[in-house]
A = this chain, B = another copy of it.
């Protein structure tokens, strides 16, 4: 049995105008790679019926699997079902299963079914429905010219769920049985792609060819991926994964086989395990650290309160930071973040705190404290650590990165990891695509 030929057809005016960057096809490539399949060719066209029909006809005749992405929505420019029916010379008809899905979807939300919605139930007669538990439009699949065609929604999270739960298992079943696809991901923070590459070149020069090593830069966590397709690779894996983990040292956040965790999730897990409560005192991040913590389900067990003290007056009123101290040292200073952390601990009765104050820019910088300067203080009331960083990114990247650093500093504190990486040199936020 040969490895199936896979092609992608992406449709949407927004993909042709430069209004959005296509990230769906990278996501599809990644999940397909996990079952040992590559993508041979992808074609992107606007919402144009004639073009879609001609692409579908040609692509179906030159692939074993064709994934069509986009064009399932309720508006007139959503043409996938119509184009597929034309290509296959088949009728469009109301699909009972699609109608049932849409009716339930609307009912659950208290919405009335309207005409545009109903358009989403008019599908090629021979199609099989692919359930969508996170959106109104169902996916569907057909077999045409010996090719399995899967039609999928353009909304990234709907696509992702549908791929993981429905399409990948269906494709797997039809693919060669001897494919091994063993994937392990190492999550890394505070180290960038080029440093990683250099480290591997220097410390792991004998890396075996049977274990494919890939890097994926992310914000904030960089991922090192070990992919194995052979028995030989599987046998070598434990030794080399250990060597890699040792080389990564305290930059390594976790070794995982499943869904990656965020830094906030890692921290919340640790705090829950230790039965510890945390609080936040934020100036330049303006509530972002608190919101990253509370995004995690179960955070109420370890987070009761956060203080967003954006002005000097409010640092005094809410956290008892002395007005004299603010005048003498300035809001962006070691003394002030320590006072903010202490104030937050006393007011919230939490066990540990993180406090941040910095110059997010674009204005507000001085010669002493240029835009990008940030002071952080963290720890328990009798054991407060501090750090000053200069983070040369534009405002929202600065805020995001400072918030993630804050979470990592708390995670290290709670795990008794005393080392702190150089977050600034060559981190994931500075590397190119």
> Which of chain B's residues have a CB closer than 8 A to the CB of A424?
109-110
Report A36 CB to chain B, min CB distance, Å: 12
Q: How far is the CA of A131 from the CA of B219 in the complex (A)?
A: 23
> Which of chain B's residues have a CB closer than 8 A to the CB of A314?
304-305, 348
Query: When the two chains form their complex, are residues A22 and B22 in contact, meaning their CB atoms are under 8 A apart?
Result: yes
Within 8 A of B (CB), among A325-372: 347-348, 360-363
Q: Identify A295's interface contact among B313, B399, B433, CB under 8 A.
A: B399
> Which of chain B's residues have a CB closer than 8 A to the CB of A426?
111
> Which of chain B's residues have a CB closer than 8 A to the CB of A220?
none
A433-B20 in contact given A198-B116, A310-B303 (Cβ < 8 Å): yes
> Which of chain B's residues have a CB closer than 8 A to the CB of A114?
194-195, 198
Q: How many residues of A contact B (CB 8 A)?
A: 108
Q: How far is the CA of A198 from the CA of B112 in the complex (A)?
A: 12
Query: When the two chains form their complex, are residues B38 and A16 in contact, meaning their CB atoms are under 8 A apart?
Result: yes
Query: When the two chains form their complex, are residues B46 and A43 in contact, meaning their CB atoms are under 8 A apart?
Result: no
Assess whether A385 is interfacial by the CB under 8 Å rule: no
Q: Mark A386-415, 1 if CB is under 8 A from B, else 0.
A: 000010100110010000000000000000
Q: How far is the CA of A19 from the CA of B183 in the complex (A)?
A: 12
Q: Mark A16-31, 1 if CB is under 8 A from B, else 0.
A: 1111111101111110
A363-B308 in contact given A22-B22, A155-B433, A424-B109 (Cβ < 8 Å): no
Query: When the two chains form their complex, are residues B305 and A290 in contact, meaning their CB atoms are under 8 A apart?
Result: no
A194-B294 in contact given A19-B216, A135-B432 (Cβ < 8 Å): no
Query: When the two chains form their complex, are residues A287 and B297 in contact, meaning their CB atoms are under 8 A apart?
Result: no
State the copy count for this chain.
2
Within 8 A of B (CB), among A67-100: 70, 72-77
Report A153 CB to chain B, min CB distance, Å: 6
Q: How far is the CA of A330 from the CA of B280 in the complex (A)?
A: 25
Report A314 CB to chain B, min CB distance, Å: 4
Q: How far is the CA of A42 from the CA of B9 in the complex (A)?
A: 10
Assess whether A272 is interfacial by the CB under 8 Å rule: no
Assess whether A321 is interfacial by the CB under 8 Å rule: no
Report A118 CB to chain B, min CB distance, Å: 10
> Which of chain B's residues have a CB closer than 8 A to the CB of A29?
16-18
Q: Mark A188-199, 1 if CB is under 8 A from B, else 0.
A: 000001111110
Report A51 CB to chain B, min CB distance, Å: 7
Q: How far is the CA of A153 from the CA of B430 in the complex (A)?
A: 12
Query: When the two chains form their complex, are residues B311 and A304 in contact, meaning their CB atoms are under 8 A apart?
Result: yes
Assess whether A271 is interfacial by the CB under 8 Å rule: no
CB-nearest residue of chain B to A31: B18
Assess whether A318 is interfacial by the CB under 8 Å rule: yes
Report A224 CB to chain B, min CB distance, Å: 11
Assess whether A285 is interfacial by the CB under 8 Å rule: yes
Assess whether A300 is interfacial by the CB under 8 Å rule: yes
Q: How far is the CA of A22 from the CA of B39 in the complex (A)?
A: 15
> Which of chain B's residues have a CB closer than 8 A to the CB of A195?
114
Q: How far is the CA of A432 from the CA of B30 in the complex (A)?
A: 20
Assess whether A201 is interfacial by the CB under 8 Å rule: yes
> Which of chain B's residues have a CB closer than 8 A to the CB of A216?
14, 19-20
**What 8 pairs between A and B have smallest CB-CB spacing?**
A286-B294, A18-B29, A287-B287, A287-B290, A306-B308, A304-B311, A305-B314, A18-B30
List residues of chain A with CB under 8 Å of any chain B CB: 13-14, 16-23, 25-30, 33, 38-46, 51, 70, 72-77, 108-111, 114-117, 135-137, 153-156, 158, 193-198, 201, 214-217, 280, 282, 284-291, 293-295, 297, 299-300, 303-311, 313-314, 317-318, 347-348, 360-363, 390, 392, 395-396, 399, 424-426, 430-433
Task: Pull 12 A–B residue pairs with CB atoms less than 8 Å apart, ordered by A.
Answer: A23-B433, A40-B51, A74-B194, A108-B392, A111-B426, A116-B193, A135-B432, A153-B432, A154-B433, A284-B294, A287-B306, A288-B294
